[in-house]
């Protein structure tokens, strides 16, 4: 009799605790990034930014009294590693959401697999194939938290043609790189629609290191500007070699021309126009950059702020709907007007991409970024 009474007491106590909504332990967020591979500079920054936001949230008391805990897995820039880690987070770690990588090939590999689970992935790979299926509908779990390749290409083309008056472009791109290729057609389409011409287009291979002959071909076509949507290392070589063959016109570049690119490239980077998610001149961003520098000795790049914003968004939606991944996914899908450091973020439920999010156009002067204008893709 005493045993039965004791068991009933335990059950009642458990039920009463659940009913009272008492803290159930930490909220677990997954972070899937390249920490040691070739794109580790990007992945580490996303992780650091998310961690910075997490520390701020936990220091302020957490979400509804619960702390956030982040589990990071290193993809090593390897698709198979990424798939294994993703599966582990969904099945074993039971995360509420995953902060995804800024790298397209990993995003593309995860997207179809993510359909088997109910865990939202808030990522930054701008290739449409990471968020959209071939039939034009979005993958249920995949979300993009910066303008897509289509939007960024259109922003750069419209800005170059309409604001800078450039009319004749040459293009040099890495034909084996999803990021580079994804920014190609949107730029060409938008530039042509705006009345500009693409005079010459030169693809190159990932093993190429000498671009002078390719650049000669572009320069001799009489272009006003060279569009180079490439990764930082290649961009340094392209910029230096373009100047070395006497090209004095402008280069239009993607996110990889953000700092530390100007310092790495040297004075040849002057005159480059590039797109960025943030501008370092904003006081709040300046404050975090200074504090982060003081604490770690490193520079916080744009990816840091993407990671930061997404962690804050997750804290907000979990605070509203709880940490059930399905509820989190529904809240993320309907996110409207979240004012983050990277802009005013609204998710379009039809595409799972941002809607109307502005990018900040910059020009490099004296090896420093100078903000030109906030610019969104014309609707």
Partner 1 sequence: MSLQIIINGFALGSVYALIATGFSLIFNILKFSNFSHGALMTLSAFIGYFVSVRTGWSLVPIVLISMLAGGVIAYIGEFVAFRKITLRQTSPVYFFVSSITLATLYEGIVTIWVGPNFYNYPRFFKSLVIRFGDFVISTSDLIMFISSAVALILLMLFIQKTRLGRALRSVSFDRDTAGLMGINVSGTIQLAFFISGALAGLSGVFLGINYTLYPQLGNLVVKGFIASVIGGLGSILGAVIGAVLLGLMETLLINYVGSGYAPVFTFLIMLVFLLVRPRGIAGINIQEKA
d(CA 274, CA 295): 28
d(CA 256, CA 275): 9
Instruction: Considering the complex, state which of residue 103 and residue 156 has its C-beta at the smaller distance from partner 1.
Output: 103
Instruction: Considering the complex, state which of residue 264 and residue 371 has its C-beta at the smaller distance from partner 1.
Output: 264
Cα 109 from chain centroid (whole Å): 17
Tokens linked to 293: 């520098």
Shortest spacing between CB 130 and partner 1, in angstroms: 23
Instruction: Considering the complex, state which of residue 243 and residue 362 has its C-beta at the smaller distance from partner 1.
Output: 243
Instruction: Considering the complex, state which of residue 209 and residue 350 has its C-beta at the smaller distance from partner 1.
Output: 209
Q: Check: CB of residue 336 under 8 Å from CB of residue 79.
A: no
Instruction: Considering the complex, state which of residue 95 and residue 200 has its C-beta at the smaller distance from partner 1.
Output: 200
Tokens linked to 372: 């030109």
Shortest spacing between CB 214 and partner 1, in angstroms: 6
Shortest spacing between CB 206 and partner 1, in angstroms: 10
Instruction: Considering the complex, state which of residue 213 and residue 281 has its C-beta at the smaller distance from partner 1.
Output: 213
Shortest spacing between CB 233 and partner 1, in angstroms: 5
> At a CB cut-off of 8 Å and minimum separation 6, what does 144 contact?
123, 124, 125, 126, 130, 131, 352, 353, 354
Give me the residues that bind partner 1 (CB under 8 A), please.
Answer: 36-38, 40-41, 175, 202-205, 207-210, 212-214, 216-217, 220, 232-233, 236-237, 240-241, 243-246, 264-266, 268
d(CA 352, CA 345): 12
Instruction: Considering the complex, state which of residue 66 and residue 303 has its C-beta at the smaller distance from partner 1.
Output: 303
d(CA 113, CA 50): 24
Shortest spacing between CB 81 and partner 1, in angstroms: 14
Shortest spacing between CB 136 and partner 1, in angstroms: 30
Shortest spacing between CB 364 and partner 1, in angstroms: 16
Q: Check: CB of residue 47 under 8 Å from CB of residue 307.
A: yes
Shortest spacing between CB 264 and partner 1, in angstroms: 5
Instruction: Considering the complex, state which of residue 80 and residue 175 has its C-beta at the smaller distance from partner 1.
Output: 175
Rg (CA), the chain: 23
d(CA 100, CA 123): 4
Q: What is the dihedral of CA 340, 342, 347, 348, to 10 degrees?
A: 150
d(CA 64, CA 62): 6
Q: Check: CB of residue 145 under 8 Å from CB of residue 310.
A: yes
């Amino acid at each position: 009799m005493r045993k039965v009474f004791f068991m009933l007491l335990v059950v009642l106590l458990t039920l009463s605790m659940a009913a009272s909504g008492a803290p159930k332990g930490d909220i677990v967020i997954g972070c899937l990034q390249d920490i040691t591979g070739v794109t580790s500079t990007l992945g580490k920054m996303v992780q650091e930014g998310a961690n910075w936001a997490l520390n701020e949230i936990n220091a302020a008391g957490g979400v509804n009294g619960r702390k956030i805990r982040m589990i990071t897995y290193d993809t090593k820039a390897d698709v198979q590693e990424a798939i294994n880690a993703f599966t582990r987070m969904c099945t074993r770690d039971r995360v509420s959401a995953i902060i995804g990588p800024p790298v397209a090939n990993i995003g593309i590999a995860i997207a179809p697999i993510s359909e088997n689970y109910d865990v939202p992935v808030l990522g930054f790979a701008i290739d449409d194939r990471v968020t959209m299926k071939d039939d034009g509908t979005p993958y249920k779990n995949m979300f993009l938290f910066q303008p897509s390749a289509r939007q960024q290409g259109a922003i750069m083309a419209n800005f170059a043609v309409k604001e800078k008056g450039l009319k004749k472009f040459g293009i040099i791109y890495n034909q084996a790189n999803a990021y580079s290729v994804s920014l190609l057609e949107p730029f060409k389409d938008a530039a042509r629609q705006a009345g500009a011409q693409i005079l010459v287009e030169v693809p190159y291979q990932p093993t190429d290191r000498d671009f002078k002959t390719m650049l000669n071909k572009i320069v001799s076509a009489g272009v006003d500007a060279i569009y180079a949507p490439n990764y930082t290392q290649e961009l340094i070589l392209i910029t230096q070699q373009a100047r070395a063959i006497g090209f004095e016109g402008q280069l239009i570049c993607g996110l990889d021309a953000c700092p530390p690119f100007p310092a790495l490239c040297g004075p040849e980077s002057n005159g480059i126009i590039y797109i960025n998610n943030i501008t370092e001149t904003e006081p709040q961003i300046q404050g975090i950059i200074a504090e982060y520098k003081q604490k770690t000795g490193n520079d916080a790049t744009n990816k840091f702020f993407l990671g930061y914003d997404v962690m804050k968004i997750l804290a907000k939606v979990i605070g509203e709907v709880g940490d059930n991944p399905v509820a989190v996914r529904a809240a993320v899908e309907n996110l409207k007007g979240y004012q983050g450091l990277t802009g005013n973020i609204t998710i379009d439920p039809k595409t799972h991409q941002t809607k109307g999010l502005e990018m900040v156009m910059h020009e490099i002067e004296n090896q420093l970024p100078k903000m030109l204008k906030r610019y969104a893709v014309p609707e």
